[in-house]
Structure 1
Amino acid sequence: MKFFNSGTHFQSVLKKYFSFRNETSSLEPLAEFLESIKESDFTEVLNFFRENQETTENFKYYIHHIFEGKPFNLSLTEANILSENAFFPELKKRVLNKILPPVVNEKTVWYLIDNVSLRPKKDLKYLHNLPENEINEFFKIAGISDFILKPNVKREMLFAMNILSWRVTGAAMEVEVVRMAPEYKNFDNPFLALQNELEDLAEECKLNPEIQLNSKDSRYKQIKIYIEQSLDFVSIAFKNSSKYGISGKINQSLLKIRQQLQRIFEIAQLLVIDDEQDVLIKSKQLIFNVLSYKSHRNNISELINDSTRLISHLITNHTAETGTHYITSTRKEYMTMFYKASGGGIIVGALCVLKMLYGYIPGSDFSHAFLYSMNYAMGFVMIYLMGFTLATKQPAMTAATMTKILSEEGNNRSNYVEFAHLVSKLFRSQFIAFVGNVVLSFPIALLIIYGLDVFFSQNLAVDRSDKLLMDLDPFKSKAILHASIAGFYLFISGIISGNIGNNSVFYQIPERIAKNFSIRRVLGKKFAKGLSKYYAKNWPGIVSNFWFGVFLGATAPIGLFFGLDLDIRHITFAAGNFAIGLYGKDFSVDSYTFWLSFITVFLIGFFNFLVSFTLSMFLAFRSRKLNFGQVSMIYKEIFKYFVKHPLKFFFPLRSGLDKKADALMSSTMTTKSGDH
């Protein structure tokens, strides 16, 4: 269809097409008319119709003629409803539809809407902004004020409701979906009851096309009850996802079922007529609904938001359980964190030297990527299994815990003070972990490189010292960018941990191990049970630490291969590399280089923490639907608390708020363990 001139005056358009009985099926007259009235005062349009009765009758005839016999059930059953049972196929389909709109049957209302309106959202907004009395009068002029009463319209709506109920019932009967809501096993299935009720109503409409529902009608009440029960089934299934885990496919299926149930309810409400004025209201609402559904049919952002919110909630739920172990309350816990971080620092110090030595091995970029990745991965897994701590692994875990506690506490300002106190506990935990990592990684790296020098009578750090020290110069290198990349990887490793934990629960891996016949027969029941517990407790951490190591080790070689200046900077490794760089220079560096490198080590730690924690908090806030408008108030309260109690952000000083904070942490753990 050719583009029309938006500046065309509505009077000339009406005279051009409707000064006679226009029997064309072309959509051009309607398209030009709708575009022309946007440039005019709508009151003038109505006045013209009032004063030109013949034109009005011809316009009305044309409207009825082009819509006559054209079904619109697709606009109710397909538009703005998930069509695929998995996220990526749905995303692919929507992207394709955006780029190349699908071919639509020309004898449907779906086709008419697509070809009359180039900007459905803006057109719908224009109609909504018109005065109520004017839009009502226009509906009467167009002869569609009683649209909802027409037998063919009711048949289309009932047919759409039945299609949706058949689809809902089929999806809800899937074994994995039923497993999500075992509470309903002892109840009559609401989906089947809803389907039967809608089928009976459709049969009754065939026998009596003039049938009309009202709000007191027992059939409408019964349909409403079954829809509510079915939606309750979906809500329980989503709620149980923290117990049983959930897959992307089941998440998408439940979202689709909920959308279809809500659409059935919206259609059912339109069929309810209690008095004469409801006829116009419901007729108008039906048309507006169809336009609204069509305007959102390929919305990609809505798909991403709906499909990922629950998964992100589950991921943060699993990391929240781990996060409680990273926040210290007492002096004993504070010192324990220091000792654990010191252990992590010892291992990282050794990893720094190993990476330097691997760099001397001749090979391709990818062979070095493999060596560096395995070096980091095995080291991080060792740190995890030995119960040590890598400082910057904390934010991805603790952010979820903080947000969970905040969401459970509510939005009162008094709670923000308690939250600020909790932040101080997190900050001092992170601070002492930083100290433990750095204090040990520096001397251990120095001791090992010295030992190698004594053993081989060669300073192996000489060739690498210039680069190592330059990497700690934020003015001559991209140290801050590379620290931010490491922070992003820390965030991703937290995602992996939560996702593995969710999948472990959903697929019942620990239970499968404990009850595996082969393991029990060969190694015994006790071993199978112990392996099951070990897997449930440690596997998410092992996998996330392994991949974190792979990310860190592979970034620089892959960046080099593609000609990109990509690398990572991590505070603990920066401290170890600082030691190696100084030893390679025989400690002969000027004070500017020394102090700049020293400060940059902690600057790197700050950006590791900032990026990881910010992304984790964003995910956690989003997953729990918290209001981002509260953030500024929370930050103000944290700042006030810091000004008032600065030492609490660095040392374990107890106060009256500690009992409350400890109770919050305890309740978080109790809730989580109770779920299982």
Structure 2
Amino acid sequence: MTTILNNNDNNNSTVITLQRELARILQEITDNQSTPDVKIFKQLLDNLRENSDDESSANEHMSIFVRLLREKKAWADGLSVFLLNLIAQYRQTAVYTDMGILSDESFLSQFHLLLGQRILPPVPDDKELVTLFHLLFNKKNHEWIKLINERWWLELVLLLNPPVGTEKIVNQLKQNILKAIVILSHRISGVGLHADMLKVFPNPQSNQHTFIEINHEVREFIEHYESNHLVEDNHALPVEPADSSQIFVLTDQAEVILQNIRKRIHKTGITIRTTNMLVRLEQSIHRLELLLTLLSSDRNSQKKALVELIHTLYEGSYNRGSFKYLFSINTALLSRKVTENASKVGEHYISTDTKGYQKMYKKAAIGGLLIGFMASLKVLAGSLDVALFGVAFIYSMIYGLGFVLIHIVGGTVATKQPAMTADAIASTISETTGRKAGQMTKLAELVVDILRTQFIAIMGNISIAMPIALGISLFWYFVIGEPFTSIKKADHLLHDLNPFTSLAIFHAAIAGVYLYISGLIAGYYDNLAVHSRIGERLRAHPKLKSWVRPDRLERFSHFIESNLGAIMSNFLFGVFLGSTGTIGIILGLPLDIRHIAFSSANFIHGIFNMYANTGIVPEIGVILVSLFGVIVIGMINLLVSFSLALVTALRARNVKMFEWKYLFGLVSSHFFNQPSDFFIPRKEPMKYALIDNDGNVIYFDDKHEKHEKTEKPEPKSELSPAEKLAKVEKLSQSEIDEKKQAIKDKAVEKILEPNNHTNPKLPK
């Protein structure tokens, strides 16, 4: 009890001290409002931010500050004039047009610039408002502004209304905003009319008109505003409000165009450069709308826009020199590129029902068959006496060509996370519709199905790869007459699987990263095939047309167009696996890879050849530890590759980090309540995402969506077929047969409807 009283006394003392200090600073600001000193304002911010590390204390401090301004209007007016005079000392336009908007420079250019600034910091320009932001808002207090409830910001903005007599300086501020509006409108037009953008417009002729007209409407708005709102001696006359509605109509049209571009990306493809332009265009349009709202006659909208602008500029100031932000924004662009593109690879990695589950096992079994031979071939290649480059090349070709062959014959490799998986994940998170909690629940269900599909893919690989490896070792021992490997090599194979005495876990994580990267590569090349129209260009190639028959050229071009992503990702994935060990030797680093499918084959080779060389069966402890190592390697492969793919998809949909705990809780709860769902297909498949039984992503289509909205369910009062027949029992037999046939025909038609997702049974 004494402790509680002491804490309350301390809190009251802190509050009283803060009130006194804030009152002193506000009085000093009021006394010096005509000659503002930035150091005084920094003292004010430092006192508000001191001991405000959590949401409760930050809001308490802000409430004290707002109450002081509310109780003494002179302080509020003094602070308002102080800030106006302080801002007027700086050049402001660049803050409105650049801060918080994506740069048009490439990643490497921005990286080199930041690196140079870290080594030799630039001389701050004391005339730029950006410099003031950097001085006032440092990295130590980055989270402070986010902790404060929006209510306090809105009330603060209302209290800081410019008093009478400040019209001239307010007009100067508005002039800078108008200049920024003009610059943004020209940038929007420039990006919107760029050649790369015109290529992806749904309707180039009409769409480009929107971006041409924006400049015209902005010019008219600026002329009207300057002649009616920035004249100091007409405040007594009624002023006609500046109408920016037509500009908003055009910006809305531009946003619709951007949405349509994104909907069509899986058909048209897109480049990283164009993706960058789309993001920059969206940000510029939003900033233009904010600045226009600041000049509107609606006071409430003005205040809300000002609060949002302050938050945006604050974030832009903090992120301006951040390597973390640079990598974050560029990986977000990559996330958008991968998840917005419809992967057209033939491999599908999500099963929702028993049929898909069985199909995945068959494909994984085919992969396991070839992996058994690939693993054995790699063991033999390890005994060749060649240079390091030769080792890397041979291993890379074994892996790369083997994986491509697996894909061509319809097999799959366990734990692969292609772009389709990330895209299916992203399809459950809508940016515009649905509640976040419901979306996260759908996502959790999708995670369960992906993990189950990966489980059966692993089982399909190892259940075939292990017997194949055993058969090869037996053939070598009994037919050729010598062990497949030496005792030293066999011991090395088993040692590499030991999670306690080797770097198996670390090496498995490296393989997981490569699995993830291969998914990105698949997305990139699938996008390239669509965007560059690879199939059409092959069909129109003059040399190929003269060398190959038209029907074969058609099949070949279609195959390349549909499978370019899968072929390149599999081949490069193999190159990564095959060359990592050699790169590790060259660099003197413990780099290598472990993949569960190959590790299972190596496990069999190691165990059998230990016996073949010594005549003694390895100890049960060695067998169990090695087998445990294979399981751990598979778990790490899956965890790393899947987690990275999930991060990529969620980053593209702006899912915040605090929601990860919620998602993890949902998946964990499902595991404890229904663990069988992670290993065995559900009785009823979940309809959580736009994917079919084969794992194909079904993308939104306007006609399809419209049809679904207009399609009306049958009335509940409608009689069933049996009831209808009961009513016609008094009819003749021929009439009854006629009615039965009509009911059958109707049922068949319903089944054949393109948008029918049920599976009604035909009446008997």
Task: Give TM-score, length-normalised by structure 1.
Answer: 0.80
Of 296-305 and 520-529, the range deviating more from structure 2: 296-305
The Cα of 1:94 is off from its aligned counterpart by 5.3
Q: Provide the residue aligned with 1:441 in structure 2.
A: 465
Name the structure 1 match of 2:494. Answer: 469
1:1-55 per-position Cα deviation (integer Å, ceiling 9, x unaligned): xxxxx9x9789989999989997x97556556765787797589879998999xx
Secondary structure in structure 2 of the residue aligned to 1:566: coil
The answer as to 2:508 corresponding to 1:488 is: no
One-letter amino acid of the counterpart of residue 502, structure 2: S
Q: Which residue of 1 aligns with 2:663?
A: 631
Provide, for residues 282-340 of structure 1, a one-character-per-residue CA deviation record: whole Å limited to 9, x for no partner. 88887777656544544665665555446425524667665873445776765554444
Which of 183, 186, 211 aligns to 2:203? It is 183
User: What corresponds to 1:600 in structure 2?
Assistant: 629
State the alpha-carbon separation in 2 of the partners of residues 427 and 62 from structure 1: 60
Equivalent position amino acid for 1:665 in 2: D
Structure 1 residues 642 and 518: alpha-carbon distance in aligned structure 2, compared to 1, 3 A threshold: same
Q: 2:57: which partner in 1?
A: none
Tell me the equivalent position of 1:382: 405
Letter in 1 for 2:173: V
Task: Identify the match of residue 257 of structure 2 among 209, 230, 233.
Answer: 233
CA distance in 2, matches of 1:481, 1:440: 26
**Whole-angstrom distance in 1 between the partners of 2:173 and 2:206:** 39
Could you list the per-position Cα deviations for residues 62-108 of structure 1 after superposition, in whole angstroms to 9, with x for gaps in the alignment? 87766556431111112111222534434554565677664454334
SS of residue matched to 2:416: helix
CA apart distance, 1:270: 0.9
Alignment of 1:68-87 (within 5 A): 68=88, 70-87=90-107
Structure 1 distance, partners of 2:71, 2:319, is 34
Q: CA–CA distance in 2 between the matches of 1:35 and 1:330? A: 59
Residues 1:609 and 2:634 aligned together:
no
Task: Give the equivalent residue in structure 2 for 1:201.
Answer: 221
Counterpart of 1:391 in structure 2 is 414
Alignment partner for residue 161 of structure 1, among 172, 181, 196? 181
Cα deviations across residues 616-653 of structure 1 (Å, max 9, x unaligned)? Answer: 2333333345554652453256326635xx3x65566x
Which amino acid in the other structure matches residue 444 of structure 1? I
Equivalent-residue separation in structure 1 for 2:445 and 2:71 (angstroms): 68
- Distance in 2, matches of 1:667 and 1:584, equals 40
Change (3 A) 1:372 1:222: same
The 1:301–1:242 alpha-carbon spacing in structure 2 relative to 1, beyond 3 Å, is farther
CA distance in 2, matches of 1:582, 1:487: 26
For 2:493, give the aligned amino acid.
L
1:590 and 2:595 correspond: no
Look up the equivalent residue of 1:575 and give its one-letter code: S
CA contact (8 A) 1:400 1:616 kept: no
Q: Distance in 2 between matches of 1:114 and 1:661?
A: 46
Q: Does 1:355 align with 2:378?
A: yes
Counterpart residue identity of residue 386, structure 1: V
- Residue type at the aligned position of 2:513: F
Aligned AA (2:172): N
Task: Return closer, same or farther for 1:33/1:522 CA change in 2, 3 Å cut-off.
Answer: same
Identity %: 28
Counterpart secondary structure, 1:671? coil
Alignment of 1:13-412 (within 5 A): 31=42, 35=46, 42=65, 68=88, 70-93=90-113, 102-103=122-123, 105-115=125-135, 118=138, 121=142, 146=166, 150-183=170-203, 185-186=205-206, 189-208=209-228, 209-210=230-231, 217=241, 219-274=243-298, 294-298=317-321, 307-309=330-332, 311-316=334-339, 322=345, 325-327=348-350, 337-393=360-416, 398=421, 400-401=423-424, 404=427
For residues 533-552 of structure 1, what are the alpha-carbon distances to aligned partners after superposition, in whole Å with 9 as ceiling and x for unaligned? 01112221111111111121
Task: Work out the CA distance in 2 between the residues paired with 1:398 and 1:62.
Answer: 55
Q: What do residues 218-261 of structure 1 show as CA deviations (whole Å, max 9, x unaligned)?
A: 73211221222222222222332222111111111111111111
SS in 2 for 1:242: helix
* Number of equivalent positions: 659
How far apart, CA to CA, are the structure 1 residues paired with 2:606 and 2:532?
Answer: 48
Shift in Å at residue 440 of structure 1? 2.9
Instruction: After TM superposition, give the deviation of residue 424 of structure 1 in Å.
Output: 6.8
**Following TM superposition, by how much is the alpha carbon of 1:173 offset from its aligned partner in structure 2, in angstroms?**
0.6
Match of residue 3 from structure 1 = none
Determine whether 1:542 maps to 2:574. no
* Secondary structure in 1 matching 2:376: helix
Aligned to 1:505: 530
After superposition, the CA RMSD in angstroms is 4.8
Could you list the runs of 5+ residues in structure 1 that have no partner in the other structure? 1-5
One of 591, 597, 600 as aligned partner of 1:575: 600
Uncovered stretches (5+) of structure 2, i.e. residues with no partner: 1-17, 51-60, 704-764
Query: Structure 1 residue 444: deviation in Å?
Result: 2.6
| Contact residue 139 and residue 145 of structure 1 kept, 8 A | no
